[in-house]
Amino acid sequence: MSKGKIMSELWVPTKQQILPCADLSGADLWGGMSLNTPSGAGYLIPTPAGWKITIGCWANKTLEDLRAIVEGDDWPESKGVERERLRPIMAGVLALRLLLEGKK
C-alpha cells in the first residue's frame, strides 16, 4: 500500500485510494431523484419545507409551481404544440413524488 500518509504508524489512505473501491449501488444517499426530460436534466429533492424541483433552467421550484404549469397555459418557454407535447411528461414528473414518498 503506497502513497497513503503514515501518521504515527497508522496508514491513512488517500481519497483517490478509497473512492474507486466504494460500492454505493443501492445506497439511498439523499432521498431525491435525478431525471432527464425533453426540457432538460433535473432533480426532485426532499426538504423540510417540502419537495423542490429543478428541470433545465426552471430551478428550485415547488411541486405546486409545477402543478400550476402542468394545469395551466402559461409555460416559461414552451408554447402551443410544444407545450402540449411536454404536458404529459411534466405531469409524470409531478406523479413521481408519490412514488418517492411510497404512496400509490
* Residue spans per domain, the chain: 32-100
Report the C-alpha gap between 96 and 32 in whole angstroms. Answer: 10
Could you tell me the end-to-end alpha-carbon distance of the chain, in angstroms, rounded to an integer?
A: 50
pTM of the model: 0.63
SS3 content of the chain, % helix, strand, coil (to 5): 35, 30, 35
* Cα Rg of the chain (Å, integer): 21
Per the document, the length of the chain is 104
The helix or strand, by DSSP H or E, that contains position 81, with its residue range, turns out to be helix 80-100
What average pLDDT does this structure show over 79-92? 91
What average pLDDT does this structure show over 88-100? 84
Instruction: Please determine, for residue 23, whether its predicted confidence score (pLDDT) is greater than 80.
Output: no
Residue whose entry in the numeric block shows the C-alpha cell 402542468:
70
Instruction: Please determine, for residue 71, whether its predicted confidence score (pLDDT) is greater than 90.
Output: yes
Percent of the chain with pLDDT over 90: 17
What average pLDDT does this structure show over 5-11? 50
Report the C-alpha gap between 1 and 64 in whole angstroms. Answer: 53
Report the C-alpha gap between 48 and 65 in whole angstroms. Answer: 17
Mean confidence (pLDDT) of the chain: 77
Q: Measuring CA to CA, which residue among 50, 77, 78, 74 is closest to residue 62?
A: 50
